[in-house]
Chain A
Amino acid sequence: MTSQNNPERWDIFCAVVDNYGDIGVTWRLAKQLSAKHRIAITLWVDDLKSFSHILPALDPALPSQIHFGVTINQWSDPLPILYQAGNVLIEAFACELPEQVKTRLISMHQASKLDPNAERPPLWLNLEYLSAESWVEGCHGLPSMQASGLKKYFYFPGFTAKTGGLICENELFEKRDAWQREPQNRLDLFSSLGLSGITADDEVVSVFSYESSTLQALCEAWQNSEHTTHALFPKGRSLNSLQPILPCSVETLTAGTQIKLGNLVIHILPMTDQEGYDKLLWSCDFNIVRGEDSFLRAQWAAKPFIWHIYAQEDDYHLIKLDAFMQLYCNNLPPELAKSWKALNLAFNKEQQELTVSHWQKLNLIGLPLLRHAKQWPIDAINDVDLVSRLVQFVKNS
């Protein structure tokens, strides 16, 4: 599948639910399919404005454009560009396909039933959310028979060999290691982002979470800590949680602003593309991340992290969190595993005092946790990344 002239054409549909999560994963998938497997990818996105935050070269006003070899089409109702079926159709995160597309698939299916020589409908996949729960293995790759007779397949990313794998670009770990070997890289990066006053010995934490009262508690602890902590916040949901301790309105803050509160320096980050965000995660001592895309990138960064998981009804997210923590802590010494799990759980349950107390314990166990964070990506990838497994799945289907 690495031919320069791969004739395959795939369509990916993505409905942007939060600003950067779904589109973040989908954009990485599209780029990698195009770059690594030379597949002609058309990515249909319903919110190009949000997309442009992570792909600044994108013009949200254009109905169609090409970036990194991927054709990006606006998905509005009706579609401004005619959908022409390719070999594969992916609905990202169970988004509802446009009626025009569904009608086209059904008519192709009916025609191919009557005439074996007629063009067959594309292989239809639903790319699901990443979960470490054990049931994923039993559902990955199963067909979903539609009333129309069409078959759709559920593709579940995951951490084990029986799942769809994890998105990870070629040579990502080598690039990261090369970056982290040279301490000046991180200082240069901070400087290029307009984050001044960070020295080599300072503790730097990136924060990209949902709203949480726990952030305020952590900031207050960092404020009163004996050493300097730099907390890097993009504008958005995490920063909104800090309003009670800020000397000005969140609305007035701009990229590059610094706010000094005791031994804590809060920096406002500028928006960055995906490659820039990776470098930021590689450069921080600790990352607080959320959802799916930044959660996975924090693991690939080989640095300790807190995962702020998307909250679900009946606290179901805590089951998902626990499933991941069990896997992540498999090879960790029990005491260390207990501390890291307790920190993540307390953060997600918004238990402010407990979070601070577990954070303070974390300093004592920082080095072994860092060693584990470096080994984890090698274990988690399970030899083969998601895109390679996906291409093989399509081949086998």
Chain B
Amino acid sequence: MNRPATTRSLRRRAGRKLVRSPMAMACAGVIALYVAAAVFAAFALTPRWPTSHDYARANQPPSLAAPLGTDAFGRSVLTKTLLGAKVSLTVGLVTNVIAIPLGMVLGAAAGYYGRRLDDVVMWLVATLAAIPGIVRVIALKFAFADTVLLDGTPLRLDLGGMVGVCVALSLTFWIGTCRLVRAEAMKIRQSDYVLAARAAGRSGPGILFAHVLPNVMHIGVVNFSLGFVAAVMAEVVLSYLGIGVAVGAPSWGSMINAARSDLIVGRWWELTAAVGAIFVLVLAMDLLGDRLRNALDPKAGKA
């Protein structure tokens, strides 16, 4: 079917707008580089990491042999940074893959059905939101320290390490998405197309998945980019405090923790590598998220 350009769907127009923006493409390129680095680290660097210490070469400044210098155990800071990218990207991705669908489904259901369900969901949201920001994440991760789910089965989940970080962050991040989606779903509930679907005899869940959820998808997409940045930053703080990924596992937060008094004695490379890696990733994700929000905003689309 040959549709005129003006009726092209919001999603396709947004995609086109993003591809045409050099800034958005540059950011996407940077993120692709990080993903490549993380995949490379996961397969090529992880096996050799635990035995790579060499005390004879501890605390070396950057050189040809170790482009970003070595840490207090003589391990390559470059390798450590790449392994940190693996941790950060995994946490950012897994957290949002759990949190966004959870927030969207609960928010859409609460907004669409209203009444009791809405009361219960909103009570849950208000309760969790009452413990502000970082304290909530810390409290969750603190409680998870010795928790092992499904022990003795192949699906064993040790919440003490990275899985726990993802679960703690997901339990925190679904709230924002849920609130926004609920407000939007309340508006959609009164729209003509939902009324028409109901008159045609469509069931509640059918309407929810066929009409409500597709129309709040843009909120999920935007919150994914926001949540990714927040998850990366939160993982850094948790690992710095020693309640993030398993102790000793390479992560940008534990790198900052290890190097926290290094500047004063003139060792700048480990801190710089970790902070630089965080800065570039967060900046790229933030700018891309901004472009994404603008592209998906129908009001900005007409300009």
> Do the two chains bind?
no
